[in-house]
Amino acid sequence: MDQYLTIALSLAFGVGVLVYATRRYTSKLMPTEKPQEARSRQRQQKKQGDREVSWESVGGYDDVKKEIREYMELPLKNRELARKYGLKPPKGILLFGPPGCGKSLMMKALASESRLNFIYVNVSDIMSKWYGESEARLKELFASARKTAPCILFFDEIDTIGTKRESHTGDSVTPRLLSLMLSEIDGLQSDDSVIIVGSTNVPQLLDKALLRAGRFDKVIFVGPPDRDARRQILKVHCSDKPLDETVDLDKIADATERYSGADLANLCQEVARRVASEALEKGERKISMDDFSQVIKRYKPSITLQMLEDYEKFRMDFERRFKGRELGDEEESRLTLNSVGGYSDIKRELYELLEMQFKYTKLMEELNVTPIRGILLYGPPGVGKTMMSRALAKSLGVKLISLSGAEVMYKGYEGAVNAIKEIFNRARENKPSIILLDELDAIASRRNSKGNETSKVVNQILTEMDGIRSLKEVVIIATTNRIKAIDPALLRPGRFDKVVHVPLPNLEERVEIFKKYLGADVCDALKCEKLAQMTEGYSGADIAAVTREAKIKLLRERIAGNSSRTLKFEDLEEAIERVRPSIRKKGGKGT
């Protein structure tokens, strides 16, 4: 009996040691404090760090800051006024845009300046390897937000748990968390006074169920700062640095297109570090404009053109407003029809035609005028067909949705069909709009009797064009320099109703193009009429190459310090000899 008792005591002692060791081990993996206490401690740390952050700390973005404050502060802080006008706070707001553009900083400024309760959630802190722990933490967050209302619950990098559910396989925790978040958001009432805010730089990965109205009611794009915003950001980060009188923040802002706010902050730090290193060896001095110029030459912006294109697609699909800052090249945003030299009759005809289409739809209905569906611009390369299409959209103030034939075919034929579906759907959602199909011959070449992969693409275009009959505010503009290669089914009335030939510029148009690239005063002094006579058969792109070649010669002389003269007629005459026309005369209209 004593032997059995000894064995039992030994087993009990072993189990006790095992339980103690397990608890010590799990205490290292999991915090001993309750999740609510841990998050309360994190909030206090955040608040301490946010005291120095204000709206003035966020340079630029006045329109975005105003929109955030109107949608979040107004209904929560002024309840009587909101009740009087029937104004309800949105359930959720999504901030999306490139990394480093101030999404989290804006929320910190809002938390610092408003008297609303603010819960900052780093999504990675929710995730746990223990089954059910992640869901419990998320439920507790929403419960805490309700208890501390009015409250803003901010999920930083929400794409961590908001990714598309079909992209996960097996028993992954992310789809379960997303479903729970959707249920919690749906369960919020306007009386709860809780607003969910999410931020992400990869919005295209988010599940569509999260983006619908009633969940994230407001989708706000926080894009790369424009010129004025860049200047204000530079002013903020240079306020505590010794700047020389030569430093011109306006010039620095001009030279930092596509720089994010984080890029500009890092730029100022790099310049300060460069000067501080020299100060150790040569003595202290102020930061000069040359220091900024040297660093900018070596610094690459973090926002790529592909990122801007992806954000623009998402913006058109989900941002629930039609007006706002355009993305992309700031120079292109100033494009007008006057930027296209020559072709006055063609520009006037197309502008009047599209103006009637977009602005006088009711009058067209009264007169029973059938709206046009498509315009085809054909002619030699380099005459400005694509530029004219973009200028028309800018001048008319309508959305331009472009798709290059070469870009589409890079995705393969199946990808091309899906891309065409996507672009027509996007145009329907963002009317009035112009669909620009550049290099149409690349995707809509002639079909043959045997059938080929190209037929699928052509058939899809035909189907989509026939399907926009009821959309009076969507027009397709296509360009090509090989009209004979395009499938004839597209050229009939009812699809491309207007086929416009854009020929090589005539004498008067060549004079106008020279004035565009040289300036009217310089052109008169250099006898541009004679230059136009010497450039018969040149396209607009060829004339641009001539002026660039002459200017480069002058630039070389000035860099070498051999001359300070201005541009002469002989410089352009020599450039004409070196730059030959790119279009052969035997090409005719259809080339």
Task: Encode pLDDT of 437-447 as tens digits.
Answer: 888 888 888 87
* CATH number corresponding to 227-298: 1.10.8.60
Q: What single-letter DSSP state applies at residue 537?
A: T
The pTM (predicted TM-score) of the whole model is: 0.66
Joined tokens for residue 69: 């404050």
Contact 71, 151 (CB under 8 A): no
Res 27: pLDDT: 37
pLDDT per residue as tens digits for the range 397-449 = 888 888 876 666 666 666 778 888 888 888 887 888 898 988 888 888 887 75
- The DSSP H or E segment spanning 403 is strand 399-404
Asked if residue 152 has pLDDT above 80, the reply is yes
Res 50: pLDDT: 42
Asked if residue 343 has pLDDT above 80, the reply is yes
Count other Cβ atoms within 10 Å, centred on residue 226: 16
Q: Enumerate long-range contacts of 418-426, CB under 8 Å, 24 or more apart.
A: 420/457, 420/460, 420/461, 420/464, 421/460, 421/464, 424/464, 424/467, 424/468, 426/313, 426/316, 426/317, 426/401
Q: How far apart are CA 220 and CA 315, in angstroms?
A: 9
Lowest mean pLDDT, pick from 149-153, 468-472, 587-591: 587-591
Res 272: pLDDT: 92
Asked if residue 25 has pLDDT above 70, the reply is no
Asked if residue 46 has pLDDT above 80, the reply is no
Domain with CATH 3.40.50.300 in the chain: 55-221, 334-501
Domain with CATH 1.10.8.60 in the chain: 227-298, 507-578
Q: How far apart are CA 373 and CA 389, in angstroms?
A: 15
Domain 334-501 has CATH 3.30.70.100: no
- Is the backbone peptide bond immediately before 98 cis, with ω within 30 degrees of 0? no
476 forms beta bridges with 374, 435
Which residue blocks in 238-338 are alpha helix, DSSP H? 249-254, 261-282, 289-298, 305-318
Band the pLDDT of 268: cuts 50, 70, 90: very high
Asked if residue 394 has pLDDT above 70, the reply is yes
Q: Burial of 580 by CB count in 10 Å (0-12 exposed, 13-18 middle, 19+ buried)?
A: exposed
Lowest mean pLDDT, pick from 119-128, 217-226, 265-274, 383-392: 119-128
Instruction: Residue 163: name the closest of 204, 127, 119 by CA.
Output: 204
Contact 153, 128 (CB under 8 A): no
Burial call 510-519: b when 16+ CB within 10 Å, e when fewer: bbbbbbbbbe
Joined tokens for residue 264: 């500009």
Res 212: pLDDT: 80
Lowest mean pLDDT, pick from 135-149, 187-201, 466-480, 532-546: 466-480
Task: Provide the residue type at 14 as one letter.
Answer: G
Res 270: pLDDT: 92
Res 135: pLDDT: 86
Cα 301 versus chain centre, distance: 14
Mean pLDDT (the chain) is 80
Asked if residue 561 has pLDDT above 70, the reply is yes
Asked if residue 362 has pLDDT above 60, the reply is yes
Res 44: pLDDT: 42
Asked if residue 321 has pLDDT above 60, the reply is no
Asked if residue 259 has pLDDT above 90, the reply is yes
Band the pLDDT of 26: cuts 50, 70, 90: very low
Of 423 and 95, more confident: 95
**CATH T-level assignment (fold) for domain 507-578:** Helicase, Ruva Protein; domain 3 (1.10.8)
Of 449 and 66, more confident: 66
- Name the most confidently modeled range: 38-42, 372-376, 556-560: 372-376
Res 260: pLDDT: 92
Res 273: pLDDT: 92
Res 249: pLDDT: 92
**Average pLDDT of span 264-277:** 92
Res 322: pLDDT: 44
**Average pLDDT of span 467-491:** 81
Of 91 and 232, more confident: 232
Asked if residue 247 has pLDDT above 70, the reply is yes
Asked if residue 42 has pLDDT above 80, the reply is no
Asked if residue 582 has pLDDT above 70, the reply is yes
Band the pLDDT of 325: cuts 50, 70, 90: very low
Band the pLDDT of 231: cuts 50, 70, 90: very high
Res 370: pLDDT: 81
Give the whole-number percent of the chain exceeding pLDDT 70: 82
Res 77: pLDDT: 77
Cα 559 versus chain centre, distance: 38
Q: Which residues contact 403 (CB under 8 A, 6 or more apart)?
A: 419, 420, 423, 435, 436, 437, 438
Superfamily of domain 55-221 in the CATH hierarchy = P-loop containing nucleotide triphosphate hydrolases (3.40.50.300)
Band the pLDDT of 48: cuts 50, 70, 90: very low
Asked if residue 243 has pLDDT above 60, the reply is yes
